[in-house]
Each structure stands twice: as C-alpha cells, then as structure tokens.
Amino acid sequence: MTTVINEPNDQEIIRASRQVDERFLAALVRRIVEASGATRVILFGSRARHEERDDSDVDLFVIVPGQAVERDVKRRAISHALVKHLIPLDIIVRTEDDVRRATLLGDPFIVDDILREGRELYAR
C-alpha cells in the first residue's frame, strides 16, 4: 500500500506560518520569483542580522529586470501573490538599473544595509 503525503503548497505555508523559518522564507521567495521574475531576493534588517524579536517583520529587497515603469507593476504582482499572511512583510522592489545607480552613487542604505549586510535568499 502506498501512502500519499500531501505537502502544503507555498501559499498554504505562507498563510499558516506564525514563525519565520527556512521553509517560510523559501516559500516567500518562490512566490516572489514566480510573480515578478526577480533576479535577486535579499533578506535584510534585524532578521538578516539575527537580532529579530517576536514581533519583527521580514524585510526583503527584491531586484527585478526591466525599466522603472515596470517596477510598480511587479510590486503589485508580488503583493497580490502574498496576499494572505500572518507575519508582517516589508518588501522593497527595485530594478537592476536602480541598484546599479544606487551603487555608483554609494547609497548607504542599499550598498551597506542591504547588499553588504543582507542575506541573499535567491540569485539568478
């Protein structure tokens, strides 16, 4: 006799999670990449530094291909893909050009806080 185990899908994992673990982060990343075609997803902030509290949100920096005009469309697609969740999320979406420009200008938030100190969850 074969036992079938139904694994929860990503949306079920995201919707039901009450804690941030690797499974939750992996489900978030898959949904974000599917919705936006992201080239990189970086965890930053207190969770990336392992300084989170129980009420800390999940800070994600999502880099997408395309022009600045498309950035808002992709941000909405990500929001729609992650519509139901218990854990607060703060997702910043920027294009590859935005990140290149910020790096050239030495933007301390993007260069130091995100690119240097963040934890890369996905890169294509």
Q: Which of 5-9, 24-28, 32-36, 41-45 has the lowest mean pLDDT?
A: 5-9
**Whole-model pTM above 0.75?**
yes
Over 50: is that where the pLDDT of 81 sits?
yes
Q: Which domains does the chain have, with CATH numbers?
A: 10-123 (3.30.460.10)
Cα 13 from Cα 52, distance rounded (Å): 21
Cα 78 from Cα 76, distance rounded (Å): 5
103, 115 Cβ separation under 8 angstroms: yes
61 burial class (0-12, 13-18, 19+ CB within 10 angstroms)?
Answer: buried
Predicted pLDDT at 4? 47
Q: For residue 123, give both structure tokens.
A: 């890169």
Over 90: is that where the pLDDT of 120 sits?
yes
Rg (CA), the chain: 15
pLDDT digits (tens, 9 = 90+) for 63-74: 999 888 889 999
